[in-house]
């Protein structure tokens, strides 16, 4: 089992602040990061993945600090987002071979197998890929270097409903292999079945980070019935937060 921790992650912009975010994760569990657009989800994921470096605070995977050992840290983490760099004029296969050299555990055999499974042509150039294909490419590359944690920023938007179902099945397989998964989304219905923990961001603040079971208990205490969906838990947290501000 691997562990991930972030402590007091803070990043300031002129009109927005990601405010002292702290939480931890363990491999083998599925974490959903939820919040409305503009709440800071992408900013947080960019910080903890190492894409954004202008932040304060600390992130570690199995005691390996991003700030102290960024290369080792990144080898234990896969990040799926629209910002991940690839050579746009080069093919899917060529990009894999080029970037794979940075990861000791990267496997060209596994990369090819995932490309085949997700129906991504290895001969296509990156600029020829659709948004959905680009996300699939990143998934294939990340899984080929066998990270302990997979972090995904809104991956479901570019997928059609049929592949979305197949993709969620793949994530279930990864959980069974003891990989930790953190996925941000506003389409929470798609991950209702998989979610173990729920993290809720509002205006740059982490207002909730708890097992889904405990949030279900809180929901039942307020409403007298179990929460059928993650969306219901989010609505309750938002309502309670609004009431607290009004007092």
Q: How many domains would you assign to the chain? A: 2
87 and 70 in a common domain? no
163 and 53 in a common domain? yes
Distance of CA 189 to the CA centre of its chain: 16
124 and 45 in a common domain? no
156 and 141 in a common domain? no
151 and 68 in a common domain? yes
The residue from 119, 146, 173 where one domain ends is 146
164 and 121 in a common domain? no
DSSP string, 105-164: T--HHHHHHHHHHTT--TTSBGGG--HHHHHHHHHHHHHHT--SEEEEESTTTTS-HHHH
CA-atom Rg of the chain in angstroms: 18
226 and 209 in a common domain? yes
189 and 134 in a common domain? no
pLDDT tens-digit profile, the chain (247 residues): 899 999 999 999 988 999 999 999 999 999 999 888 889 999 999 999 988 878 999 999 999 999 999 999 999 999 998 877 799 999 999 999 999 999 999 999 999 999 999 999 999 999 999 888 998 999 999 999 999 999 999 887 768 788 888 888 999 999 999 999 999 987 778 788 888 999 999 999 999 899 988 888 888 888 888 777 787 777 776 666 544 444 4
Q: pLDDT tens for residues 35-79?
A: 888 899 999 999 999 888 789 999 999 999 999 999 999 999 999
117 and 43 in a common domain? no
116 and 160 in a common domain? no
Sequence-distant (6+) residues with CB within 8 A of 217 are: none
Domain with residue 137: its CATH number is 1.10.8
Buried/exposed 116-145: b ≥16 CB within 10 Å, e otherwise = eebebebebbbeebeebbbbbbbbbbbbbb
224 and 116 in a common domain? no
157 and 129 in a common domain? no
Q: Range of 127's domain?
A: 82-146
Q: What's the pTM value of the predicted model, to 2 decimals?
A: 0.90
Domain with residue 182: its CATH number is 3.40.50.300
């Amino acid at each position: 089992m691997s562990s991930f921790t972030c402590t007091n992650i803070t990043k300031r912009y002129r009109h927005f602040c990601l405010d002292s975010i702290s939480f931890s994760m363990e491999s083998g569990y599925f974490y959903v990061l939820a919040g409305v657009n503009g709440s800071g989800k992408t900013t947080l994921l960019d910080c903890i993945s190492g894409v954004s470096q202008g932040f304060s605070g600390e992130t570690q995977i199995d005691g390996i600090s991003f700030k102290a050992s960024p290369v080792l840290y990144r080898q234990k983490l896969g990040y799926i987002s629209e910002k991940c760099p690839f050579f746009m004029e080069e093919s899917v296969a060529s990009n894999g071979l080029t970037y794979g050299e940075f990861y000791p555990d990267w496997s060209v055999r596994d990369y090819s197998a995932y490309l085949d499974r997700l129906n991504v042509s290895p001969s296509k150039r990156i600029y020829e890929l659709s948004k959905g294909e680009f996300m699939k490419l990143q998934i294939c590359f990340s899984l080929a270097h066998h990270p302990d944690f997979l972090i995904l920023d809104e991956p479901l938007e570019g997928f059609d409903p049929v592949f979305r179902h197949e993709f969620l099945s793949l994530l279930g397989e990864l959980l069974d292999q003891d990989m930790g998964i953190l996925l941000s989304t506003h389409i929470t219905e798609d991950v209702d079945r998989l979610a173990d923990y729920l993290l809720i961001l509002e205006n740059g603040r982490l207002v909730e980070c708890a097992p889904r079971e405990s949030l279900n208990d809180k929901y039942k205490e307020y409403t007298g019935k179990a929460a059928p969906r993650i969306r219901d838990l989010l609505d309750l947290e938002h309502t309670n937060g609004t009431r607290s501000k009004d007092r």
